[in-house]
Amino acid sequence: MADDRRRYGLSGEKQAAEHLAANGYRILETNYKNRFGEIDIVARDNRTLVFVEVKSRRSNRFGTARESITPDKRRRVSMVALGYLKSNGGTRQKARFDVVTLDACSPDGDFRIEIIKNAFDLNYG
């Protein structure tokens, strides 16, 4: 069961990266990890560094993908992003947090993909 969820999540992240690239983002890293956690995708959108959280749902039974970005998740992603910026010498560069949601819209496995730009602000409190 856990392996199936992991495969599903990785598939969603791959589709999200392809969708971002098709929309002009340059993918820098996927599954970036540091001592604070993980960010699904680090990308560049023109001159802006973008930290992307990917959420995919097979159904809306437990809410939409958008609704699953909790305050705790925003805080953890923020901490990882700060660590990334510090380790890459970029604490003064323009950055933002986007979310890519993939909500199942058919039994065939088709998804409705949405890029939510500036989905949340830096949150480390």
Domains of the chain: 2-120 (3.40.1350.10)
Comparing CA positions, the residue from 97, 81, 86 lying closest to residue 33 is 81
Please give the Cα distance from 46 to 27 (Å, whole number).
Answer: 11
What per-residue confidence (pLDDT) applies to 11? 76
Q: How far apart are the first and last CA of the chain?
A: 34
Q: Which residues pair with 116 in a beta bridge?
A: 99
What per-residue confidence (pLDDT) applies to 57? 72
Residue range 4-10: mean pLDDT, rounded? 66
What per-residue confidence (pLDDT) applies to 65? 58
Please give the Cα distance from 64 to 113 (Å, whole number).
Answer: 12
What per-residue confidence (pLDDT) applies to 80? 95
pLDDT band, very low/low/confident/very high, at 2 (cuts 50, 70, 90): low
Question: From the CB of residue 38, how many other CB atoms can be counted at a distance below 10 Å?
Answer: 13
Please give the Cα distance from 124 to 83 (Å, whole number).
Answer: 12
pLDDT, tens digit, 9 for 90 and up, residues 64-117 = 556 777 888 889 999 999 999 998 877 678 899 999 988 776 566 667 889 999
pLDDT, tens digit, 9 for 90 and up, residues 20-59 = 999 999 999 999 999 999 999 999 999 999 999 998 776 5
